[in-house]
A and B are shown apart, each in its own frame.
Chain A
Amino acid sequence: MLLTAFWFFASLMILFGLSVVLLRNPVSCAMSLVMCFISLAALFVTLDATFIGIIQVLVYAGAVMVLFLFIIMLLDLRTEKSRRLNFGATLGGTLVVAAFLSILVQVINADPALSKALPALPPGMPTDVKMIGFTLFHSFGLPFEVVGVLLLSATVGVIVLSRKSLR
C-alpha cells in the first residue's frame, strides 16, 4: 500500500518536474510546479510528516505559486520564442546533470545501510504537530525569533525594491 503510494506520487512528481523544465508557456510551467509540489507533499505524508506536508501545500503550492502566477501576469510573459540553442551551454548542462546523477546512484547503491526497510513507529505516540511544536519552542526559540526578523526584513526589502524610483 505504502509502496504503491510512493511509486505513484514519486513518478507524478518527476513527471511534473520534467514538464516544468521542458514546457515553453510560463503559465503551464507554474501549474506543473503546483502539481509537483502537491505530489511532494503526498510523499511527505507517506513519511509520516503530516505537518510538513500541509505546510508544503499551504506555503509552496498556495502562497509562493500565487506569487509566481501574479508576476507572470504582471510582466505579461508569453510563450518563449525559440532562439538558437547555445550548443556549449546545452552540452555542459547535460554533462553536469548526467555526472551528478551517476555519482549519486553509485553512492546510494554502494551503502547497504540505505536499503533498510521502514522502521515501525511505536503505537500511542503524540501527533507530529505536537512534537514539532514542542521541539520548536523548547530547543529552537532563538532561531524562531530570528526567522521572524528575517521575514520582516524581506517584506521591507520587497517594498523598497518595488518602488517606482530607486534612490
Chain B
Amino acid sequence: MPTLANYLIASGLLFAIGLGGVMLRRSIIIIFMSLELMLSAANLSLVAFSRYGLVSGHQNFDVQVLVFFIITVAAAEVAVGLAIIVSLYRARQTTHVEDLDTLKF
C-alpha cells in the first residue's frame, strides 16, 4: 500500500518540475503549461490528504469540493491567460519572454 508520504513526494516532484519550467523556459506558452503543472500538483496533495485523513469513517469530501473549485478557477485562468497571450502576440509578434522587456527596470 502506498503511504501518504509517497503521494506527497510525487506531488512535490511535480510541483518542482513546474517551478523549474517557469524559471528556466523562455517561451511564454511553455511557462503557462508549467503553471498548470504546479496547480495540478497542489490538487494531488489535497486529494491525498482527503483520502488519508478520514472524517467519521469516510473521505473528507470538503477537500474534494475544494479541488473541484480549483479546477474550475484554473479553467477560467487558462482561458483569460491564453487570450492575453494572443493579444500580446498581436501587438509584439513574439512569445519569447526576453523580447518583452518594456516593464524591465
Contacts and interface: CB of A to CB of B under 8 A. Distances in A.
Interface of A: 2-3, 6-7, 10, 13-14, 17-18, 20-21, 26, 29-30, 33, 36-37, 40, 43-44, 46-49, 51-52, 55-56, 59-60, 63-64, 67-68, 71-72, 74-75, 77, 80, 83, 86, 89-90, 92-94, 96-97, 100-101, 104-105, 108-109, 114-119, 121-122, 125, 128, 131-132, 134-136, 139-140, 143, 147, 150-151, 154-155, 157-158, 161-162, 166
Contacts of A150: 72-73, 76
B64 A97 contact: no
A49 to B, nearest CB: 5
B65 A132 contact: yes
26 contacts: A18-B17, A26-B29, A40-B40, A40-B43, A47-B47, A47-B50, A48-B51, A49-B51, A51-B64, A52-B64, A56-B43, A56-B71, A64-B74, A67-B79, A68-B78, A71-B86, A92-B23, A93-B20, A96-B23, A101-B12, A101-B13, A108-B5, A131-B58, A151-B75, A161-B86, A166-B87
B64 to A, nearest CB: 5
A161 B83 contact: yes
Q: Give the interface SS of chain B, mostly helix, strand, loop or mixed.
A: helix
